[in-house]
């Protein structure tokens, strides 16, 4: 839902501001096919270092992953307009991080430290933090074990998740933190689409000879699908387009398909079509 919304808002910006240059701050979504389509329509990708070169009439679309609030203010300081296409679920996490840090809570963010979504949420936590408010980004259960070594059991704390984080890793982190902080507020903010894909993939175990994961190779949720698939199937491959289907898949009797949250429907349909036509 958040990905489709971001792409639709970018296309609408092109239609409504034909005399202006439309940018996206960083790649709009983690799918090269969709990004190439937008580039062909005139949208350019803006890097952090290019913000200083923005013009007054420029339009900047904030990507689905969101950005720190400081970046939005920097863009506006150049007179450029901002269209915020942050996924509503990510926006909710940003607000929670700001709310709880401002109230003096210790905020734990389960996610990948270098992921754009976590970077944006951290920005909101930093801006709202008071003298006794603090936050930690935790990528895995080992880091959770390390953190609890210097956390007081009586601390007010909340756990929030990156929307594309591994459900199993999130549950493990929550369990470790709760052992030290019994009053920890756990907020499972993983996107339902992410959890549904993982569950559907598990349900396909034993029903196919191999599985193709269709999606961007730099997408966090797509890479996690591949890791899960490798546990369930002896043959599992990540592809971005139908052209990348490995030859051995055409000799398999049954093939399972799944896709990342950012994968356009037409790409999935093309993979299906090619598989069927060559069987």
Residues known to be catalytic: 117
- 271's enclosing H/E stretch is helix 265-278
3-state secondary structure 98-124: HHHHHCCCEEEEECCCCCHHHHHHHHH
* DSSP element (H, E) containing 183: none
Cα 28 to chain center, whole Å?
A: 11
Give Cα 180 to chain centroid, integer Å: 29
Other CB atoms within 10 Å distance of the CB of residue 51: 17
Please check whether residue 224 is in contact with residue 262, taking contact to mean a CB–CB distance below 8 angstroms: no
Side-chain-facing half-sphere of 259: CA atoms under 13 Å: 19
Instruction: Kindly give the interhelix angle for 116-128 and 88-102, rounded to the nearest 10 degrees.
Output: 30
Query: Long-range pairs for 129-134 at CB < 8 Å and ≥24 separation?
Result: 129/101, 129/102, 130/101, 130/102, 130/104, 132/104, 133/100, 133/101, 133/102, 133/103, 133/104, 133/105, 133/106, 133/107, 134/101, 134/106, 134/107
Beta pairing partners, 185? 158
Question: Cα separation of 132 and 193, whole Å?
Answer: 35
| 3-state DSSP assignment of residue 161 | strand
């Amino acid at each position: 839902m958040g990905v489709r919304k971001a792409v639709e808002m970018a296309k609408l910006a092109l239609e409504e501001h034909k005399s202006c240059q439309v940018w996206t701050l960083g790649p709009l979504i983690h799918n090269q096919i969709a990004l190439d389509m937008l580039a062909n329509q005139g949208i350019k990708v803006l890097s952090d270092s290019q913000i200083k070169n923005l013009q007054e009439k420029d339009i900047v679309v904030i990507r689905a992953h969101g950005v720190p609030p400081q970046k939005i203010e920097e863009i506006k300081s150049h007179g450029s307009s901002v269209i915020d296409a942050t996924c509503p679920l990510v926006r909710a996490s940003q607000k929670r991080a700001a709310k709880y840090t401002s109230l003096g809570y210790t905020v734990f963010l389960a996610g990948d430290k270098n992921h754009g979504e976590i970077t944006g949420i951290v920005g909101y936590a930093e801006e709202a933090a008071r003298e006794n408010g603090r936050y930690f980004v935790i990528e895995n259960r080992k880091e959770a074990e390390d953190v609890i070594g210097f956390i007081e059991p009586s601390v007010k704390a909340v756990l929030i998740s990156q929307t594309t984080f591994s459900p199993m890793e999130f549950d493990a982190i929550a369990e470790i933190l709760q052992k030290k902080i019994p009053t920890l507020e756990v907020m499972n903010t993983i996107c339902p689409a992410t959890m549904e894909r993982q569950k559907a993939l598990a349900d396909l175990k034993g029903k196919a000879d191999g599985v193709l994961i269709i999606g961007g190779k730099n997408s966090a949720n797509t890479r996690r699908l591949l890791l899960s698939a490798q546990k369930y199937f002896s043959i599992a491959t990540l592809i971005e387009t139908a052209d990348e289907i490995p030859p051995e898949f055409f000799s398999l009797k049954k093939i399972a398909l799944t896709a990342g949250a950012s994968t356009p429907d037409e790409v999935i349909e093309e993979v299906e079509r090619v598989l069927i036509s060559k069987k």
